[in-house]
Structure 1
Amino acid sequence: MNELAANTSPLFNYGVLAIILVVAFIAWFFVNRASVRASEQIQLLEALLEEQKKQNALLRRLIDAQPESKAMQDEEDAADSRDFIRLIPER
């Protein structure tokens, strides 16, 4: 084993070091790219969440502005519960 260590040239050692550096840079590139893409996706999801919150607030204001719609919906729910027989498939 000592003969192999004594016979290795510095050029071989630099070649191995260069290969390790290239592999490390390639791995760093892919990890960095994945990190950037994940950050972009998080920003897009946060923007989507804010838009949904705005839409929910707007819908809540619209529902609160129409008090008669709740009474109509209660009547429709009662009618749907009476028509339960339509949900049973015939054989």
Structure 2
Amino acid sequence: MRNALCSHESNTWQWVASLLTSTVLWCYSAWVTWIFCQHSRRLPHDYILWLLLTVLLAVKTFAFSPVADGAAIRTLLFALLAEAVLMRYFKRSQHVKSTFIEP
């Protein structure tokens, strides 16, 4: 009986942690969208951080969630591809510099 109670408690904490992580990422996504629309100078830094967070979330999904391996791998590969392409674009693009960095 004790093991069943500990298992239930553990599942509850995992669910709460997952909900909290999703809520934080959703709020940060809304923030990044807002500063994008405002043409803020903070966008390149915050967008790159957002990309890294999505990769970390995809790794967490791949490692710890009871999701089919194919779906988890697709999520991870999509996040890695988006980071590889978009991070380089945000760091090197003249268009990003003229829109968000230079006055």
TM category (shorter chain) comes to 0.3 to 0.5
What TM-score, normalized to structure 1? 0.43
What TM-score, normalized to structure 2? 0.38
Q: If you compute each CA radius of gyration, which structure gives the higher value, 1 or 2?
A: 1
